[in-house]
Amino acid sequence: MDNDRRNPILPLDEESLSEFLEGRTLVSSSLFPLGKCNSNYKLTLSDGTVVVARVSNSGPNSKELRVMELAQQCVKVPKVLYENAAIVVLEFLNGRNLESVPEYSRLAGVAIAQLSSVTFDASGSIEEDGSISAFDFGGVQGFIHSSLENAGLAKRLGVERKEKLLTLLCNKAQLLEELDSHTCFVHGDFNPTNILIHEGHLSGVLDWEFALAGTPYMDIGNLLRNTPQSFHSEIENGLREGGMDLPSDWKERAELVDLTSQLEFLMSSRSEEFKLTCIQRIDNVIEQYGESF
């Protein structure tokens, strides 16, 4: 098992594909190396068809498939070709992930802006019928405060760093409340490995299992964190091109919201090496946007 995966790699059960194959045979299968939660396989069938088979550690996720139906109104997503209790078969989309071609970061910015045009009445989980189930913790501030009550996380952060975070939250409370007041369609894992580029165009956005109703600055923060700084201006250009009205402090907003991801990572099964980078990111945000301590 990759020591930085959230879940173990699951094997491909060819029997679960029998109904989809309809007499065809499986010529080859290979595991996609990227991804930390599910196990995704590229399959080549005897008639030349290429598809993606997704085996989920959490079992069938009909909510994610319905979210993808909503997303396709805004951006290109893989078509669902077949699903049963064990597996989902998706359309194979050509392209290289944005991580390998960051010069196309503008296209990712445009996609976030397009998704943000779909708005909801409140933040929360998107259900199968399109309704929203509010999170127990509320919005961004609520998640951070509830996370800081976790004993294991508090111990890892240390007393001084935790107090600095709480002071930062207090000082930025009005800004965070403003962000929580505008809820739209959020991918939830909008990093370059989930964004495909083909022939100079965005050819697909993958992995919608973490999609939610919330602030678009969650996706912006994720994208900034995983993109070289030299391409951040391209992200800004794409956001504006897609129709977002960005304030002058847009980067600060994104990095403050991205604290939610850093805290969640620290409570996950991600590798110790990765968690040390999360601590460093938290310290950077405190240093950049907090008062002098």
Residues 53 and 78 in one domain: yes
Between CA 260 and CA 73 the distance in angstroms is: 27
| Contact between residue 37 and residue 57 where contact means Cβ atoms under 8 Å apart | yes
pTM for the structure as a whole: 0.92
Domain that holds residue 191: 97-289
Residues 87 and 225 in one domain: no
Between CA 277 and CA 24 the distance in angstroms is: 46
Residues 118 and 247 in one domain: yes
Tokens of 31: 């595991």
Residues 231 and 270 in one domain: yes
pLDDT tens for residues 80-90?
999 988 899 99
pLDDT tens for residues 133-171?
999 888 999 999 999 999 999 999 999 999 999 999 999
Amino acid identity, position 225? R
pLDDT of residue 169: 94
Residue finishing a domain among 44, 69, 92: 92
pLDDT of residue 46: 96
Q: How many CB atoms lie within 10 A of CB 135?
A: 17
User: In total, how many domains does the chain have?
Assistant: 2
CATH number of 80's domain = 3.30.200.20
pLDDT of residue 149: 95
Residue finishing a domain among 92, 116, 139: 92
Residue 156 sits at the vertex; the CA angle it makes with 1 and 283, to the nearest 5 degrees, is 100
5 domain residue, yes or no: no
Residues 155 and 196 in one domain: yes
| Contact between residue 217 and residue 253 where contact means Cβ atoms under 8 Å apart | yes
Residue finishing a domain among 56, 75, 92: 92
Distance from first CA to last CA of the chain, Å, rounded?
42
pLDDT tens for residues 233-249?
999 999 999 999 999 99
DSSP 234-254: HHHHHHHHTT----TTHHHHH
Q: Residue 119, exposed/middle/buried by CB under 10 A (0-12, 13-18, 19+)?
A: exposed
Residues 220 and 111 in one domain: yes
SS3 at position 123 = coil
72 domain residue, yes or no: yes
Handedness of CA 248, 251, 255, 261 (dihedral sign): positive
CATH number of 261's domain = 3.90.1200.10
